[in-house]
Structure 1
Amino acid sequence: MHQPGQGPYQCEEPGCTAAPFPTQYLLNSHANVHSSNRPHYCPEPGCPRSKNGKGFKRKNEMIRHGLVHRSPGYVCPFCPDREHKYPRPDNLQRHVRVHHKDRNKDDPLLRDVLAQRADGPSRGRRRRL
């Protein structure tokens, strides 16, 4: 029997340390990390990750990449040239953590930039009412 929180579907790839998966679907999705198969493509025409380009091994990576095309761009409020623009808020937060160590993560300038929302469908998990 498998342990609570783990599934019965174990990756058989030699040397793989992934925990067992709860569904066959997730195991199949995981199998792509061990192959050169990249079955998920960016729908944006002309993107290097679109159909004739590199693609993605996992669907969630392709979805996250979509922010590159839909994001308003998160510009670092602390860089004097304002040339550091990131497609995702976590990218900007990492930049600030590394390059602006004297700045607090709760700085109002940073909070204002991070409050931007990309246009389009809602992002993240759905909330139950």
Structure 2
Amino acid sequence: FGMWTTLTIFGLCGIFMAPVTHLSGWFGTPLNVSDINGLFGYIGMAMFMFVGCELVTPMAPEIKQAHRTIPRAMALGLLGVASCMFIYGAAINRQVENTVLDAANNVHLLDTPMAIPAFAERVMGHAGQYWLGVGLLLAGCAT
């Protein structure tokens, strides 16, 4: 819950701040499914969102009205995670300039992990970098 709250707070702050970049829409360029590497990335992300869903089904005998409660909880959890990721994605695209880091390999800033501290500093300064850094460290320990 802590990481979800952190990403949502950073995302909302990034959305409500004046944008640094110029985008044609909230999320920048439209989804490109013709790139096979990108398509596999999207499939992997979608599969990762369902990782926790199957872990609750062994608890079904202990849950009252499990046939109703478990699907609702799964839907609510997936909706929460998806909304958080959409908000965070829109915010980072608005606040971090996607500069070219390696022209030979076509690597941009938003393709690397260095976009996260750049976004945190843009939104909340050095305190934001520490906050997001500690949050990511704790999320990694919990995984």
Same fold (TM over 0.5): no
Return the TM-score normalized by structure 2.
0.28
| Higher RCO structure (Cα 8 Å, ≥6 apart) | 2
Return the TM-score normalized by structure 1.
0.30
